[in-house]
Amino acid sequence: MRDKVREKRLARLRRHLRVRKKVWGTAERPRLSIFRSLNHIYAQIIDDDEGKTIVSASSLKIELPSPASDTEENGKGKGKKKAAGKKILRSRAVGKAIAEAAIAKGIKKVRFDRGGYIYHGRISALAEAARKAGLEF
């Protein structure tokens, strides 16, 4: 059992390093880095040339909107609506917050570093919310 867990962790680390090798943030176009834990999601905008975090946001500090106001299509039923999960709502709120903070600092274009996670679920929700709020990537 331990070997399987260790293999998964190593695979996740290798995938993250493979992505990081190709994505580099500069002063003109910093890197939007994502970290996802079991319950929360974190985003940072980083200038890799200087090695500094310019802006950060996390779901720890953000209050959630009401789940009834945010619905999305449920693919199984005809015309039925399904409320988005709490983690998706947190991701959207973080995406909006990071975009607003970045635009306030004068950053409009970033490079998206998904941190080795697949572009699905919470990662895509954060990215779409950041794009809606005005970030370009």
Q: In the chain, what percentage of residues exceed pLDDT 70?
A: 86
Question: Rounded mean pLDDT of the chain?
Answer: 86
Rounded to an integer, what distance in angstroms lies between the CA atom of residue 84 and that of residue 68? 9
User: Which domains does the chain carry?
Assistant: 2-132 (3.30.420.100)
Rounded to an integer, what distance in angstroms lies between the CA atom of residue 13 and that of residue 77? 38
pLDDT digits (tens, 9 = 90+) for 32-49: 999 999 999 999 999 989
pLDDT digits (tens, 9 = 90+) for 82-113: 667 899 999 999 999 999 999 999 999 999 99
**26 neighbors 47 (Cβ within 8 angstroms):** yes
Q: Could you give the C-alpha distances from 90 to 4, 61, 76, 119, in angstroms and in order?
A: 30, 10, 24, 16
